[in-house]
Amino acid sequence: MTRPIVGIIGNTGLINDRYPVHEVGTMVCDAVAEVSGCIPMIIPPDPCWMTVAELMETCDGFLLPGGRPNVHPSEYGDEETEAHGTFDRKRDAIALELVRACVATGQPVFGICRGFQEIAVAMGSTLHPEIRELPGRRNHRMPVDVPLDEGFSNRHLVQLTPGGRFARIFGAEEVETNSLHGQGIMIPGPRIVVEGRTEDGTMEAIYVKDAPGFTMAVQWHPEHRAAQDPVSRPLFEAFGHAVRSWAMARRGAAKVA
């Protein structure tokens, strides 16, 4: 018997500003292992090395975590400008195709921050490169030069659709969350159901309409203190439940721990 495997799409980074690596925050892996009850497996996303079909065969579910580079604007029909910042075209290539494949098959996919934006874009949404420039919007970026725990501390309320999927998971129609992003959804795609917004109108919690599996995504970072946080914990538990159900249906219940 083996636990279900969650493929976590990695980011490209540099150790000591020069040694290239693929990386995922340890708090993301902790949340998948300790709260979702699955094996976290970091995927170096490069379409030269793997196909989405191979990934879907290897893993039972997917987590698209946060990452500094922005989804390339050509993926939603915009021109590249300086405001769009840096990109990761290899992650774009894997993640966007993976989202569409998971939506089609029902294999669970969970999006966090950049991952939320990937699910949105894969399903036809547009993004704004810097939402704080929009009228009435506040700055959703992480405060600079503060200790990590302070940067990941709660900064705003998210109002949820009463009786919706998120409200049912949290047992609440309003939750307090952190905030570490500059971009945001501008126009949601036709199948994107928006169930959570902050008071300034920023979209924070979505899922894909009529998808047969778990497609929930949040613009905040629930991986921070996931085992303790009353909002993060039920979200990662719900994801783990969906991944385990997928694994049992595929491999047979007796083979899944």
Q: Which is closer to ligand LF53FM6H, CB of 84 or CB of 233?
A: 84
Smallest separation (angstroms) from ligand LF53FM6H to the CB of 86: 8
Strands (DSSP E) contained in 151-232 are: 156-160, 174-177, 184-187, 192-197, 203-208, 217-218
Smallest separation (angstroms) from ligand LF53FM6H to the CB of 33: 18
Smallest separation (angstroms) from ligand LF53FM6H to the CB of 228: 20
User: Which residue number places its CB atom closest to ligand LF53FM6H?
Assistant: 66
Edge to edge, the sheet with strand 109-112 lists: 39-43, 5-9, 61-64, 109-112, 217-218, 203-208, 192-197, 156-160, 174-177
Q: Which is closer to ligand LF53FM6H, CB of 182 or CB of 240?
A: 182
Smallest separation (angstroms) from ligand LF53FM6H to the CB of 239: 17
Q: Which is closer to ligand LF53FM6H, CB of 25 or CB of 164?
A: 25
Tokens of 121: 């874009």
Q: Which is closer to ligand LF53FM6H, CB of 67 or CB of 189?
A: 67
Strands (DSSP E) contained in the chain are: 5-9, 11-15, 19-23, 39-43, 61-64, 109-112, 126-128, 156-160, 174-177, 184-187, 192-197, 203-208, 217-218
Q: Which residues bind to ligand LF53FM6H, rule: CB under 6 A? A: 11, 25, 66-68, 70, 113-114, 180-183
Smallest separation (angstroms) from ligand LF53FM6H to the CB of 153: 15
Tokens of 57: 């065969």
Q: Which is closer to ligand LF53FM6H, CB of 89 or CB of 209?
A: 89
CB environment 148-183: b (16+ within 10 A), e (fewer)? eeebbbebbebbbbeebbbbebbeeeebebbbbbbb
Smallest separation (angstroms) from ligand LF53FM6H to the CB of 203: 12
Q: Which is closer to ligand LF53FM6H, CB of 178 or CB of 245?
A: 178
